[in-house]
A and B are shown apart, each in its own frame.
Chain A
Amino acid sequence: MKLTYKFVQGILLGFLLFLVACSDKTEIVDPPPAYTPTPYELEIPYAFPTKLNIPGDNPLTVEGVELGRYLFYDGRLSGRTHPDSLMSCSSCHIQENNFEPGVDHPVFEGGFVHGLSGQQTHHVVLPLVNLVWNSSGYGWNGSFYNNNENPNQRQIEDIVTLSVIAPDEMYGDTSRVKALFQSLDGYPELFYKAFGSDQITFKNMARAIAQFVRTLVSADAKIDRYLRGEEQLTQSELNGFILFTTEEGADCFHCHGGFGNPLFTTHLFYNNGKDTIFDDPLDRFAVTGDPMHKGAYKAPTLRNISLSGPYMHDGRFATLDEVIDFYSHDVKWSDQVDPLMHHVLRGGVQLTPSEKADVKAFITTLHDEKFLNNPAYSRPEKFPDQN
């Protein structure tokens, strides 16, 4: 009996030790923590918003932004390697042209873009400037917005995906694209550093590009230095500033910002009186269903606007002078014209030639050379596979 008791006691003790050992073993076999990327500190410029539009599942990291920059510029993002079929974000979003094609683009004549299928984009390209502060919807009609019921139409990540597959852009296939990049030396390692896995997914490709795009910040134009008290404007620029921000002047500020809104846009949507008939299937009405939003489009930022032609959603104006002339004399009445266009029955704000020159001089102070030449935003000298 004693022996039996000791035997049972021994069995129990052994079982207990086994359990303890097992539980220890369970902890040991836990996978090691994945590579932890370095948070990217985005500096908030003077008077800029502190609220950033960054999705919770894609925080900015140094490694993600670096990878995103490579992908943004790598023509193989189209999923093809033949020199005639290369296309990337940078094919249309050119840094020295405010991340737009520019009216003097060698391929896209007049700044009108077409994709690898030959199909032209429905609207002209918008600039990639200060988008981390845009919470009102992306695109001319704002069809990509944060709380969209369609989870594939919310963020910059979703626009990247659309850009890769759309016939009027890269006309690619996301499976083929990710397989191609998986085969390129150097990229899998960068994906591991950015996302903790060297198995490339297209979702992570879109995330990386979106991270890079969110770092594109323009905040050191002459107007910024003036508002910070570092530089004075010329007399003509000052006159233009006052005209820009007064209702009896050019009255630009309600939609395009100013001293209290240095983004120089509200990112909101307005019918600015360009037309009287509205038949564009992709205007703001297409998103909201509100008939009063027919013919309404985003008021784009005016930062570096002198490089952003052609102007308006359809690129109808080639030069800034044409735009200023339009707002002075050619604004058209319709039921849908925005109430902020209160000069509409006079055809516009009726600027004199010298006032037009002053407004243009002021708008030119929004030109940010530092942004246009920032090496952190520029094309890498070499891609990860040394190509």
Chain B
Amino acid sequence: MPIMTVLLFFAFASCQKRNTTEESFGETAFHINHLIDNEELKTDALIYTNAAGNRYMVTEIQWFITNVRLVAEDGTEHIVSNQDEESVFYIDTDIPESMTINTGQKFPAGEYAGVKFTFGFDKAENQSHRFVNPPQSYMFWPIYLGGGYHYMKLNGKWINQQGKTEPFNFHLGIGQEYYDESKTNGALYNFGRSDSYEHCSGYQPPSVLPPVMGFIHNYFTVELNHPFTIGQDQTSSLELLMHIEQWFKAKRIYDHDEWGGAIMQQQDAMEIGIQNGPMVFELRNGK
């Protein structure tokens, strides 16, 4: 009897140990792809038509995602970090190796509900000179326009109302609030979110440009609810898709003829991109 008791005790003890402390891990690999109308992007091909009826082509796309998190079924979030232990990833259609995010990081094996990330940088993360090396440093956003970095450069051309092929730079980043005399009866006002920039304090703007009174951080969060599994000692392959045409139609129609070639100083144009942005992305299981 005493022998049986001891054996049973060890049997239970070993079962408990196996059930509670043997956690298993796996990895994830994101493969980024850019699509237009569900087809893989063909750069420099004037073959697309957006929702506004603009025929257009895309030459290159360069963009940042930050604060990337895997969301487990129980709601726990696991942050995805790069080799510098920062959750910052630069993606560039001209740099094939940037189209895969595989950090070798271990995540608990199990069921996941989806992925979240910040498109661009939140205010705290968007600090000038955080990148000194190219290609990330080439994404700097001019200090007078708010500093930090472009969230995205999407460059291409469209056929304008005159039938001419005209370049467009659909660039998203920090927006500006400009001094508007009509709104203030000539009095200077502050939007309450102004980030003063001492270097430019003595600046007198050119005639076409009223003074900048404040900045608007245009980043947004993307939540992609798509279940996936991370298997023990396995790499779970995920596809992160950018549906380019959605930048121009998901919620509001964006018309190149209305906004012209450059929008870094047109907050109203960038605002359309921000409203459409959360619907631009899709997560799929990898092949």
Contact call A47/B165, Cβ cutoff below 8 A: no
Q: How far is the CB of A268 from chain B (nearest CB, A)?
A: 8
Contact call B132/A50, Cβ cutoff below 8 A: yes
CB-CB under 8 A from B164, the residues of chain A are 333, 345
CB-CB under 8 A from A253, the residues of chain B are 140, 142
A47 to B261, CA, bound (A): 30
- Decide yes or no whether A168 CB sits under 8 A from chain B: no
- Decide yes or no whether B200 CB sits under 8 A from chain A: yes
Instruction: Select A258's contact among B142, B149, B160, beta carbons within 8 Å.
Output: B142
Contact call A242/B155, Cβ cutoff below 8 A: no
**Per-residue CB proximity of B191-214 to A under 8 Å, as 1/0?**
000000001101111111100000
CB-CB under 8 A from B142, the residues of chain A are 245-246, 253, 258-260
**Per-residue CB proximity of B245-272 to A under 8 Å, as 1/0?**
0000000000000001111110000000
Instruction: Select B205's contact among A242, A258, A261, A266, beta carbons within 8 Å.
Output: A242
A243 to B142, CA, bound (A): 11
A51 to B265, CA, bound (A): 32
A239 to B207, CA, bound (A): 11
Contact call B167/A340, Cβ cutoff below 8 A: yes
Q: How far is the CB of A125 from chain B (nearest CB, A)?
A: 24
- Decide yes or no whether A198 CB sits under 8 A from chain B: no
- Decide yes or no whether A49 CB sits under 8 A from chain B: yes
A272 to B202, CA, bound (A): 32
A251 to B261, CA, bound (A): 12
**Per-residue CB proximity of A238-272 to B under 8 Å, as 1/0?**
11011101111101011000111100001110000
- Decide yes or no whether B138 CB sits under 8 A from chain A: yes
Q: How far is the CB of B112 from chain A (nearest CB, A)?
A: 35
B-side binding surface: helix, strand, loop or mixed? loop
Q: How far is the CB of B144 from chain A (nearest CB, A)?
A: 5
Contact call A339/B129, Cβ cutoff below 8 A: no
A51 to B206, CA, bound (A): 37
Count A interface residues, CB 8 Å.
Answer: 45
Chain B contact patch, size range = 35 or more
Contact call A341/B167, Cβ cutoff below 8 A: yes
- Decide yes or no whether A62 CB sits under 8 A from chain B: no
A226 to B167, CA, bound (A): 34
CB-CB under 8 A from A345, the residues of chain B are 160, 164, 166
Contact call B168/A339, Cβ cutoff below 8 A: yes
Which residues of chain B in 41-65 are interfacial with respect to chain A, using CB atoms and an 8 Å cutoff? 44, 59-60
Contact call A339/B155, Cβ cutoff below 8 A: yes
CB-CB under 8 A from B262, the residues of chain A are 247-248, 251, 342
Contact call A259/B143, Cβ cutoff below 8 A: yes
- Decide yes or no whether A135 CB sits under 8 A from chain B: yes
A-side binding surface: helix, strand, loop or mixed? loop
A339 to B153, CA, bound (A): 11
- Across the interface, name the chain A residue whose C-beta is closest to B165: A335
Q: A248-B262, A253-B142, A345-B166 are in contact. Are A260 and B134 (CB under 8 A)?
A: no
A49 to B157, CA, bound (A): 32
CB-CB under 8 A from B138, the residues of chain A are 261, 266, 268
- Decide yes or no whether B147 CB sits under 8 A from chain A: yes
Instruction: Select A338's contact among B167, B204, B206, B263, beta carbons within 8 Å.
Output: B167
Contact call A355/B206, Cβ cutoff below 8 A: yes
Q: How far is the CB of A244 from chain B (nearest CB, A)?
A: 9
- Across the interface, name the chain A residue whose C-beta is closest to B170: A339
- Decide yes or no whether A343 CB sits under 8 A from chain B: yes
A260 to B137, CA, bound (A): 6
Contact call B264/A247, Cβ cutoff below 8 A: yes
Contact call B144/A246, Cβ cutoff below 8 A: yes
Instruction: Select B166's contact among A50, A235, A243, A342, beta carbons within 8 Å.
Output: A342
Contact call A342/B261, Cβ cutoff below 8 A: yes
Contact call A342/B206, Cβ cutoff below 8 A: no
Q: A339-B155, A339-B157 are in contact. Are A242 and B137 (CB under 8 A)?
A: no
- Decide yes or no whether B141 CB sits under 8 A from chain A: yes
Contact call A260/B206, Cβ cutoff below 8 A: no
A260 to B134, CA, bound (A): 10
- Decide yes or no whether B145 CB sits under 8 A from chain A: yes
Contact call A261/B169, Cβ cutoff below 8 A: no
Contact call B59/A248, Cβ cutoff below 8 A: no
CB-CB under 8 A from A238, the residues of chain B are 200, 202-204
- Across the interface, name the chain B residue whose C-beta is closest to A335: B165
Instruction: Select A352's contact among B144, B147, B207, B260, beta carbons within 8 Å.
Output: B207
Q: What are the nearest 6 A-B pairs in CB distance?
A: A260-B140, A342-B261, A245-B142, A339-B167, A247-B262, A339-B155
- Other 13 A-B pairs with CB < 8 A, given A246-B265, A339-B60, A355-B206: A136-B134, A238-B203, A242-B209, A245-B143, A246-B264, A247-B169, A247-B264, A248-B208, A248-B262, A333-B165, A339-B169, A341-B167, A345-B160
Q: What are 5 A-B pairs with beta-carbon distances under 8 A?
A: A135-B134, A136-B134, A239-B203, A243-B206, A260-B142
